[in-house]
Chain A
Amino acid sequence: MIEAGSIAHEAWRRYTSREPQWWLLAAAAAGWIGLVSVLALGGHADATHQGSASWIALAGWMTMVVAMMLPFTSKEARWLASRSLPSRRQRAIAAFGAGFLLPWIAVGAVAVAALAPLHGELVGVAGALTVAAAWHMAPVRRRVLRRCGAVRAPAVQGWSAVADCIRCGVLAGARCVATCWAVMVPMAIVHHPGLMAGAMLVVASERRAGPNPEQRAGRPVEALWLAGGAAVTALLAVTV
């Protein structure tokens, strides 16, 4: 038993050494668990969109961003860690992660307020998914997506090292907003795990490793999925 424990400990040590950004993925998993738990317990963002509780809606939005978007930037965080001194890796990842979330906070503040009148409206979700399908194929989006991994090697010591990592994070976050805003907008209208999972599937499908990687940006297959989601949601809006 002790041996099994030490083997597991050694495996964990090796994993965390090779994947120092592991806790970003853990944060995303925690975000999922939190959101699903709140929704399962009958909590609904409806209440959070009213009056003074709008900051809670923003917190819900950011939880969704953490759950859905952080996993897709963990590769850049890992790269940045590998370009940092071993003693500063976790600081680099934390600074990068914080910077990454900043543009999403700004977008969330606007989106939550602007989309509040549409909250819970399936028609709104169908419209947003249609926009997402069109945006998915846009050449400008494809160009920005190809640059999402553009992270500059940071300074190695002092505050400039932290500042560089934050700057890299902000840039990565801004590019993430530019490419993924359209798939996130429906989440601001209706909070549903199925919708979140579907959006993540689209992003993951586009970003997974495969042949001809440079041609995987903005493929029609993912746009069709989004358009299909829009059709299903519109159907639900009519029938439910």
Chain B
Amino acid sequence: MTNGSPDTGLRIRRDVQSLIAEGDAGLQVLDDYGAAIIAMKELDSAAGPPRNPRSWRFQAAIHGLTGLRPSIDHPQHWASCRHNSWFFLPWHRMYLYCFERIVQSHLGDDSWALPYWDYTKASASSRILPAPFRTPATGNPLHVAERDLRINHESAPEPLDAEEADAMPALRIDTFALPAQNAASSFGGGVVEDVVPTARARGSVELQPHGLVHGAVGGEDPPGFMSRFETAALDPIFWLHHSNIDRLWDVWLRRWGVDALPDATAWLDTEYEFFDADGNRTKRTIRALLDSAELGYAYESTDPPRPIPVQPGPEGLALAFPEEEALVPMADPELVGATEDVPFAERVEVGIELARPPEAVLAAAAITEPTRWFLRVEDVVGEHPAVSRYDVYLNLPAGHRAADHPELRAGSIATFGIPEASQPQAEHGGLGLTDVFEVTDVMAALRDDFSWDGSTLHVTVVPAGVGGEAERGGDVRAGRISIYAG
């Protein structure tokens, strides 16, 4: 099956649902993928450290493989995946690019292109794990049992939740990366430009949909392949999931332009080494990874799920800004309140006393003022999460179901990455992960709630997963939950 575009000469990465809808011709792309997986597995003994760079386990080990000690210094680059910084997107782009070339070499077809799973579309069916991946027929190389049973069910699969698959919160952020001291949210992750990085928040796209989809597909009872760094790339859907994340970067670039990317040489000239189709090492700088056309591929669609607002910020709110106001550079958001040590073992509500006078808080929450509000859940650690995500709400009325108040939802913390970031050998010695959510529109909704006095903000954290709220959350806890405004 040829995926090339006769107009551009680029190979086209297709939406897996388009391929399935196309029938036999489209399904051939997935059959070819399965055939390549079988060929890759045959290169490996499935025991001990993998040795052949063109093999399935070796490729997975680059991201992480159980039993192989994580080290970015390892000569085979095992467990070298970059997460939780502005390197997340470019590293995974090159990872996919080289994987795609290895698949091509196994097929003897350099026009084969990695499909993507676009779960960001409006229809619930797009959020169902594609059928060829959940058919447990003997020898189906696209199926693995190590997934959440409800997601992986052959005949009655549960779709991903719409909120966890939504890419709009990330796509509407016009900032690719922010230095660690800036408490606002960025699309791609925190700046890391020297050897001593300080703690920074995950990029919004790395959190949602990336991390949330990882956790939902893998599940936590027990953790499936997609739920942990050290097994994720063993699941064939991993590569289609990341193809979609890579596509979302192109969607973002199409909206905000290449000028919105960092111009620091610490980012642009950072170089990655992977293994090419022939198994030999190949290097590329991030500068050479920015244009997917230069890498020989394009996506079937780079349309956003919904129109991205003209100005950055929450949907509907940013458009309310007069243009001249929105163009005023925003000062770094400042801390206005926080609470420490919040366990997520079960649904929990904590109060954050705001340092600003109530009337100032309420006035600043007015949508006509260019104040933006951010909720940060900082230093989240835990080695045994019981769910794939934790939903966070502001001022959720006592006794109410969280699902009945989407207007009060700040966002969701993805479990994916938390156990890894809690290990003593992790970059920050087990300090955990930080996520940041823009809550300007939630604060605007609260301003209209006259029962709120503006002095204390109540944050509710709800353990959740496929099927909604869960009773138990495991041993995960936040070092601090903070509110910033600026």
Stretch from A117-125, A128-136, A141-149 forming part of the interface with B: A141-149
Of A56-64, A75-83, A108-116, the stretch lying at the interface with chain B is: A75-83
Across the interface, do B194 and A212 meet the contact criterion of CB distance under 8 Å?
Answer: no
Residues from chain B with a CB closer than 8 A to the CB of A84 are 335
B198 touches A151 (CB 8 A): yes
B337 close to chain A: CB less than 8 A: yes
Known contacts: A76-B198, A82-B183, A208-B194. The answer to whether A150 contacts B429 by CB under 8 A is yes
Q: Which chain A residues border B232 with CB–CB below 8 Å?
A: none
B199 CB within 8 Å of chain A:
yes
Q: B198 to A213, Cβ gap below 8 A?
A: no
B340 A155 Cβ-Cβ under 8 A: yes
A199-212: CB near B (< 8 Å → 1, else 0) gives: 00000001111111
Assess whether A150 is in contact with B72, with CB atoms less than 8 Å apart.
Answer: no
User: Can you list 9 residue pairs at the A/B interface with Cβ under 8 Å?
Assistant: A82-B181, A151-B199, A153-B338, A153-B434, A155-B480, A210-B265, A211-B267, A214-B72, A214-B195
A217 at interface (Cβ–Cβ under 8 A)? Answer: yes
Contact between A211 and B427 (Cβ–Cβ < 8 Å)? no
Report the minimal beta-carbon distance from A29 to chain B, rounded to whole angstroms.
Answer: 21
Instruction: Flag B9-45 by CB within 8 Å of A: 1 or 0 each.
Output: 0000000000000000000000000000000000000
Whole-angstrom CA separation of A212 from B264 in the bound complex? 12
B196 touches A75 (CB 8 A): yes
Contact with B along A179-212 (1 / 0, CB 8 A): 0000000000000000000000000001111111
Please judge, given known A-B contacts A79-B181, A147-B427, whether A212 and B479 are in contact too, CB under 8 Å.
no
Please indicate the chain B residues that have their CB under 8 angstroms from the CB of A146 in the complex.
195-197, 427
- Chain B residue numbers with a CB within 8 Å of A209 are 193-194, 264, 266
Is A216 in the interface zone, CB < 8 Å from B? Answer: yes
- Docked pose: A82 CA to B482 CA in angstroms: 12
| Main secondary structure on B side of the interface with A | loop
B268 to chain A: which residues have CB within 8 Å? 211
> What sequence of 0s and 1s flags, for each residue 18-43 of chain A, a beta carbon within 8 Å of any chain B beta carbon?
10000000000000000000000000
Taking CB atoms, residues of chain B closer than 8 Å to A232 are: none
Q: Tell me whether B135 is interfacial, beta carbon within 8 Å.
A: no
A209 to B180, CA, bound (A): 14
Let me know if A7 is at the binding interface, CB within 8 A. no
B355 touches A153 (CB 8 A): no
A201-240 interface mask toward B, CB cutoff 8 Å, 1 = contact, 0 = none? 0000011111111111100000000000000000000000
Asked if B110 lies at the interface with its beta carbon under 8 angstroms from chain A, I say no
Is the beta-carbon distance between A213 and B355 smaller than 8 angstroms? Answer: no
Q: Cβ of A149 and Cβ of B337 under 8 Å apart?
A: no
Would you give the shortest CB distance from B266 to chain A, in whole angstroms?
A: 5
**In the complex, A84 Cα to B337 Cα: how many Å?**
9
Which residue of A82, A147, A149, A160 contacts B332 across the interface (Cβ within 8 Å)? A82
Whether B334 is near chain A, meaning CB under 8 Å from some CB there, is yes
Question: Chain B's nearest CB lies how many Å from the CB of A211?
Answer: 4
Which one, B181, B193, B434, contacts A213 given CB within 8 A?
Answer: B193
Contacts of B72 in A (CB 8 A): 214-215
Q: Max chain A CB contacts within 10 Å: which of B72, B196, B340? A: B196
Q: Once the chains bind, are A153 and B196 in contact (CB under 8 Å)?
A: no
Q: Which residue of B lies closest to A139 (CB)?
A: B73
Q: Are A207 and B198 in contact (CB under 8 A)?
A: no
Is B342 part of the binding interface, using a Cβ–Cβ cutoff of 8 Å? no
- 6 cross-chain pairs, A with B, having the tightest CB-CB distances, nearest first: A211-B269, A150-B428, A82-B181, A209-B193, A149-B198, A216-B195
Q: Is A52 an interface residue (CB 8 A)?
A: no
Give the complex CA separation of A211 and B193 in angstroms: 7
Other contacts beyond A85-B335, A150-B431, A213-B192: 13, CB < 8 A: A83-B183, A146-B427, A149-B198, A150-B198, A150-B427, A153-B379, A207-B195, A207-B196, A210-B266, A210-B269, A211-B268, A213-B193, A217-B195
